[in-house]
Amino acid sequence: MKVLKGAIGVRIVADCVSNVSTALVQTIKYTKSDGTTGEWTATVGTASIDVDNESGETITYEAYTYIYYDTLIDDIDVLGDWKVQAYVELSGGLKTHGNDNEGKNPWGLLRVEDVL
C-alpha cells in the first residue's frame, strides 16, 4: 500500500486470516523505515472489503477477519518502506499475529512517499 507522508484518514488494514470478532485486544504494529517501532489501537472490521495487495491484485477480506486503523495527524511521518502487522488477543487467552494479504509473511508493506 502506498500513502503520502502526513496523510490523515488513510485506512490501514491488516489481515488476521481467521475470525477475530472475540478479540479483547487488537493493534497494528509497525516498524518505520528508520527502525522506529510502535503500534496503533485498531478496530475489528465488521463488513467485507476489497483491498489491493502489493502485487496489484484485489483481495477480499471477509467481515471479522481483519483489523484496521484510520491515520491521524503525525502518524505517517517518515518516508520509505514501513512494515505493518496485525496483533490480536482473543478471549480464551490466544495471542497471535496476522499474516500479510498473501498469507505468507506476518509483515505487510506500507510505502510512505513524499508529497509533490
The Cα angle at residue 17 between residues 59 and 104, in degrees rounded to 5: 75
Domain CATH number, residue 76:
2.60.40
- The total domain count for the chain is 1
Question: CB within 8 A of 68, min separation 6: which ones?
Answer: 11, 12, 13, 14, 28, 42, 43, 45
Question: CB within 8 A of 2, min separation 6: which ones?
Answer: 111, 112, 113
**pLDDT by residue (tens digit) across 48-90?**
999 887 777 888 989 999 999 999 999 999 999 999 999 999 9
**pLDDT by residue (tens digit) across 14-34?**
888 889 999 999 999 999 999
The Cα angle at residue 35 between residues 7 and 52, in degrees rounded to 5: 45
Range of the domain at 10: 2-113
The model's pTM is 0.88
CA 101 to the chain's CA centroid: 10
